[in-house]
Homo-oligomer: A and B are copies of this chain.
Amino acid sequence: MVVSLKDIAARAGVSLSTVSNVVNGYRPVGEETRVRVQSAIDELGYAPNLSARHLRLGRTGIIALAIPELDNPYFAELAGAAIREATSQGYTLVMEDTAGSYEHELSMIDNSRRQIVDGLIFSPVAVSREDVLARPPATPMVLIGEGVYDVPHDHIAIDNIAASHVAVQHLVSLDRYRIAFIGAQAGDHRQSAHLRLRGYREALAGAGLPWDPALAAPTTAFGRADGLMAMRDLLARTQPPDAVFAYNDLVAIGAMRAVAEAGLRIPEDVAVIGIDDIEEGRFSNPTLTTISPDKEHIGRLAVQSLVARIEGKPVEPPYDVQPPFRLVTRESTLGGQRPVRT
Contacts and interface: CB of A to CB of B under 8 A. Distances in A.
B95 A116 contact: no
B47 A51 contact: no
Interface string A123-147: 0000000000000000000000000
A55 B4 CA distance: 13
Contacts of A236: none
A47 B112 CA distance: 8
A83 interface: yes
Contacts of A228: 283
B48 A51 contact: no
Nearest to A255: B283
Q: Place the interface of chain A in its size category.
A: 35 or more
Interface in A3-49: 45, 47-49
A70 B299 CA distance: 14
A176 interface: no
B261 A283 contact: no
A60 B2 CA distance: 14
A280 interface: yes
Interface string A86-98: 0000001111110
A285 to B, nearest CB: 4
Give this chain's copy count: 2
A253 interface: yes
A62 B93 CA distance: 11
A56 to B, nearest CB: 9
A224 B283 contact: yes
Nearest to A50: B116
Interface stretch (A73-81, A203-211, A307-315): A73-81
Given A50-B60, A283-B253, A94 B97 contact: no
Given A70-B80, A280-B280, A50 B115 contact: yes
A185 to B, nearest CB: 21
A60 B51 contact: yes
Contact of A49 (B48, B55, B73): B55
Interface in A222-254: 224-225, 228, 253-254
Interface of A: 45, 47-52, 54-55, 60, 62, 70-71, 73, 76-77, 79-80, 83-84, 92-97, 111-112, 115-116, 224-225, 228, 253-254, 256-257, 260-261, 279-280, 282-285, 340
Given A50-B116, A70-B80, A261-B340, 4 more contacts: A52-B55, A62-B92, A76-B76, A257-B284
